[in-house]
Structure 1
Amino acid sequence: MTHIKSKDTILDTLEPQVRLKQLIDYSNQVEADPRVPPIRLIYLYRYYRSGQEMIRMANVYYKEGSLENAYVLYLKFMTLFLEKIRKHPQFSSVAVNVKAKNQATLREILPRAEKIKQQLLEQYTSDIQQYLAEKKKLENELKRTEEQNKLFDQRTSKSTASGLSGTISIVKVPENLDNIAYPESISHIPPVPPPSTVAVHKGFEVPKIDRTKKPSNIFRYDTNILRPVIVPVQVMTLFQAIAQSNTFKNIETCGVLCGKLEKNELIITHMILPKQKGTSDSCCTTNEEEIFEYQDVHNLITIGWIHTHPTQTAFLSSVDLHTHCPYQLLMPEAIAIVCSPKYNETGIFILTPDYGLKFIANCNQDGFHPHPTDPPLFTEADHVRIENNASVEVLDLRKK
């Protein structure tokens, strides 16, 4: 994400048109890599497939009223399929029905994106008006308080010059002390300090402007701030049980983790085991269209994947890193779960966003090959929350 450099004048960065331009600039940061076929990405991903998942997430954001996030995803979709994908050297090979479906989606979201744009401009205009009104009010209070304190200082100075240290008040003491009504909270009254330590209290506190309440001049859709991913504990237990026969044969098993976006949380609700071919250290999926068809019917978003290491510990191998890369390029929160039955380990990993993701995306080597380990290319996913009582639906396409 590109942050706009802050300026001395707050107004320059709070202007509604400036804030809107930040969204548009950020949304334009999407490319159609000419090295990657437009219909098939490594292990399950296709540009057109990714586009449909963008729209699913955008629709959820739109329904929940998260207009900035919805607008960014709609713009990314439009940028990719109205401009970038057409320059891909293999664009002409895309099937007519796939292009037609994409065009229908574009026709649907274009007016919606324009409507959101107007709503955001109204929201940003309201934000700046409210902030400036509050700022002016606090500045007036500050000016008034400073004038009161200045007047107090002048009066105190005159009193000191005449030999008085403060205002003298005469208090009449009741004749019958037994009739005094003491407050119940008398024990909480602080002790009176000795006269030599008594400080003059002006009584006029200078108001403070809360800078955190001003509208943000930086777009909040930051890929370094990951949305929580909710993982039912059943995902791991059921998957290892299903994979047990392969594990005994020293064969890896893999599955795709899908779910929904709800209140800015990604919730895994389905685990799909596609048709696949496994070895002792790898697993390749086949008949990927079956996965996509099921996701379309059930309106599911791909959130990550899961696989076993029958004889090794839980970590991401060089092949695993390349398998996971397209998942995380599409969705920064995407996770890779590795189950190691032999060592009774389970790891939930992501590529390090500040280094590993870019490094693997630019690595052109295939198969098992060495990678540098410092700085680390992957790390444990700390944005994951394991839910003991949540359920998961399992679809085993290997049996069909």
Structure 2
Amino acid sequence: MAKNKLSIILENIEPQERLKQIINFSNSIEVDPHVPPRRYYRSGLEMVRMANVYYDEGNYENAYCLYLKFMTLFLEKIREHPDFNSVPAEVKAANKAKLREVLPKAEKLKQKLLEIYKEDYNNYCVKLKQIEKEAEDRRKRNQLKRQDDSRQLPQGPPSEFVTAQIPSPIDGVYYPDTNSSGSGTIVPSAPDLPHPYESDISFPTIPSFDRSKKPSSTSLTDKYDTDVLRAVLVPSKVMPWFENLAQSNTNKNIETCGILAGKLEKNQLIITHMILPKQNGTADSCTTTNEEEIFDFQDQHNLITIGWIHTHPTQTAFLSSVDLHTHCPYQLLMPEAIAIVCAPKYQNTAFFNLTPNYGLQFISNCRKTGFHPHPTDPPLFKVADHVKIENAPLEVMDLRK
């Protein structure tokens, strides 16, 4: 299995407990009653697509998490949505077919992960014993060195010498002070080793606990959330091509919007397609129509929704209150989702997302519609710093024609 940062830092957890944390993390998904249920069903298909990519790349942990989220969402949580009964029967039927495909795959993956976790834990225990043996060997070598040094000391009247009392080793381990020529320093644990977030070396440290106790575990959610956002690769052609396609609307002071879709590859989201749906625009808003056309195109090309793009014909690049509410469902379903705003009058383009620790929750709880004031402190949105712009291929589908 390709090891990621998450799997490296959890190697010291017993296999069953580690699997339990993965399951608990994956089950912590909630349904927002203000997000249309059709969006959840669309997101579910994309969730399975991403899980399949992870599985093919050997990233079984992330694949299993997404399969579990999909099952939790559509076996349990989606029924809590107040508009669940409005979902067309054919959509529910397609979803059930996908569940029948995912369930056995997830069960086999669970057993595979358990075997991998057992191997990881056994390797961890071997390394831990090796470190403890090396520490004991150092203690014995230093003890012998002190005995040799004491025999070589010159003899003289007892009154001329003061005998220093050497403290007992803590936890039975003695470590010499390499920066001193004295007799040594007692420390309670092994020297610092590379943190798994800073190095590719997977090397355990000696935990400071009683040897008779099991290694303690840290919350999976805490560890996973420290590195949750995957990079989003944006082809450099997106912005100039979109502004060119929107030019006729821009000249009339009408906003234009588009959908950014693509694929997951090697744990980064790559925008490969820009879709311009049928839409209705005004000077400060844009609404898509005929969304089924978008869905059909994405299904045909196996695409994941990664964000959206729109123009501000006469204003600068920012997210208005309406923009914030438009973007919220995208980011609730895909944490990395971005909003690109093109301001041709000011020759400015910016990439935004809602602040995950405040803005996302605030906007999802806001029931106001249309343009309305929001507090600005703390900020509700920020520049998306997980975006990478590269000279990559791009396909455009203009459904307005």
What TM-score do you get using the length of structure 2 for normalisation? 0.82
Would you say the 8 A contact 2:256–2:281 is kept in 1? yes
Alpha-carbon separation, structure 2, partners of 1:35 and 1:200 = 69
CA distances 1:129-172 after superposition (whole Å, capped 9, x unpaired): 11111111111111111111111111111111358xxxxxxxxx
Instruction: Spell out the pairing of 1:196-275 with structure 2 (5 A cutoff).
Output: 199=181, 208=191, 210=193, 212=195, 213-214=203-204, 217-219=218-220, 221-222=224-225, 225-275=228-278
1:395 corresponds in structure 2 to: 397
Distance 1:115 1:214, change over 3 A: farther
Helix, strand or coil for the counterpart of 2:253? Answer: coil
The answer to whether the aligner puts 1:72 opposite 2:30 as a matched pair is: no
Q: Structure 1 residue 296: deviation in Å?
A: 0.2
Q: Structure 1 residue 12: deviation in Å?
A: 12
Helix, strand or coil for the counterpart of 2:230? Answer: coil
CA distances 1:86-132 after superposition (whole Å, capped 9, x unpaired): 23333233222111111111111101111111111111111111111
Q: Structure 1 residue 268: deviation in Å?
A: 0.4
Q: Structure 1 residue 54: deviation in Å?
A: 0.7
What do you get for the CA RMSD once the two structures are aligned? 2.3
Instruction: Spell out the pairing of 1:1-400 with structure 2 (5 A cutoff).
Output: 14-39=13-38, 46-162=39-155, 199=181, 208=191, 210=193, 212=195, 213-214=203-204, 217-219=218-220, 221-222=224-225, 225-387=228-390, 389-399=391-401
CA distances 1:221-257 after superposition (whole Å, capped 9, x unpaired): 4375311110011000100011011000000000000
> How many aligned positions are there?
346
CA distances 1:184-235 after superposition (whole Å, capped 9, x unpaired): xxxxxxxxxxxxxx95899xxx974737433985535437531111001100
For 2:363, give the aligned amino acid: I
Helix, strand or coil for the counterpart of 2:61? Answer: helix
Alpha-carbon separation, structure 1, partners of 2:315 and 2:249 = 14
For 1:256, give the aligned amino acid: I
Helix, strand or coil for the counterpart of 2:315? Answer: coil
Alpha-carbon separation, structure 1, partners of 2:13 and 2:190 = 23
Larger Rg over CA atoms:
1
CA distances 1:243-282 after superposition (whole Å, capped 9, x unpaired): 0110000000000000000000100000000000000000
Q: Structure 2: give runs of 5+ residues left out of the alignment.
A: 1-8, 157-179, 196-202, 206-216
Would you say the 8 A contact 2:260–2:271 is kept in 1? yes
Q: Structure 1 residue 69: deviation in Å?
A: 1.0
Would you say the 8 A contact 1:30–1:80 is kept in 2? yes
What TM-score do you get using the length of structure 1 for normalisation? 0.82
For 2:148, give the aligned amino acid: R
For 1:274, give the aligned amino acid: P
Would you say the 8 A contact 1:19–1:217 is kept in 2? no
Alpha-carbon separation, structure 1, partners of 2:218 and 2:64 = 17
Alpha-carbon separation, structure 2, partners of 1:223 and 1:359 = 21
Distance 1:310 1:217, change over 3 A: same
Identity in percent: 66
Would you say the 8 A contact 2:11–2:121 is kept in 1? no
Distance 1:130 1:224, change over 3 A: closer
Q: Structure 1: give runs of 5+ residues left out of the alignment.
A: 1-9, 40-45, 164-197
Helix, strand or coil for the counterpart of 2:114? Answer: helix
Would you say the 8 A contact 1:13–1:217 is kept in 2? no
Would you say the 8 A contact 1:306–1:336 is kept in 2? yes
Alpha-carbon separation, structure 2, partners of 1:130 and 1:296 = 43
Would you say the 8 A contact 1:224–1:353 is kept in 2? no
Would you say the 8 A contact 1:141–1:207 is kept in 2? no
Distance 1:133 1:224, change over 3 A: closer
Alpha-carbon separation, structure 2, partners of 1:140 and 1:33 = 54
Would you say the 8 A contact 2:11–2:124 is kept in 1? no
List, as ranges, runs of 4+ consecutive aligned residues in structure 1 with deviation greater than 6 Å. Answer: 10-13
Would you say the 8 A contact 2:229–2:335 is kept in 1? yes
